[in-house]
Amino acid sequence: MTNLEMIITISSGILVPIALFIANRQWGRKKYVLIKFNHNKTIIYGIIRDMRKLLLETNAWNSILLKDTNTTYREYLEVLEERYEIEYSDLEFRALKKKKLSIHQLTEYVEKLKIQEDSLNQMRINLDLIIKKVEINN
């Protein structure tokens, strides 16, 4: 075996495990992004379902939800449904799954999804409070 062949063999023995480690780490982050995507999708779907149920029970469609903007429950629900159909569609999930992302892009996705999750959890809490008030008043 020549010196060049020996160097190539040793380099391969070092570089291949490193490359596999990086690929595995990247796949782990990608998998986390996909799981977080589906988690957020589940939260927003539950919010839409429960808000629609509340509005059907109370007929409060045209009541003001956000006083500073005069936004009604109906308008808010319509926007939520539109966002859900666009941002959390199966097509969007498949595109995200197929898309090759750098570590930096994956990190940005994780941060974006965490922020969305926090917002969705706050919406969930607010909706649960409204539902409790309605139950108490009935």
Helices H / strands E in the chain, number of each: 4, 2
C-beta of residue 114 within 8 angstroms of C-beta of residue 108:
no
pLDDT in tens, 36-67: 999 999 999 999 999 999 999 999 999 998 78
User: What average pLDDT does the chain have?
Assistant: 85
Report in angstroms the alpha-carbon separations of 24 from 30, 88, 89, 118: 10, 26, 27, 28
Over residues 14-38, the pLDDT tens digits come to 554 444 445 445 668 899 999 999 9
Torsion sign across C-alpha atoms 114, 117, 122, 123: positive
pLDDT tens digits along 101-115: 888 999 999 999 999
Task: Please tell me the pTM assigned to this model.
Answer: 0.78
Residue 72 backbone phi and psi in degrees, to 5: -90, 165
Domain-wise residue ranges, the chain: 25-137
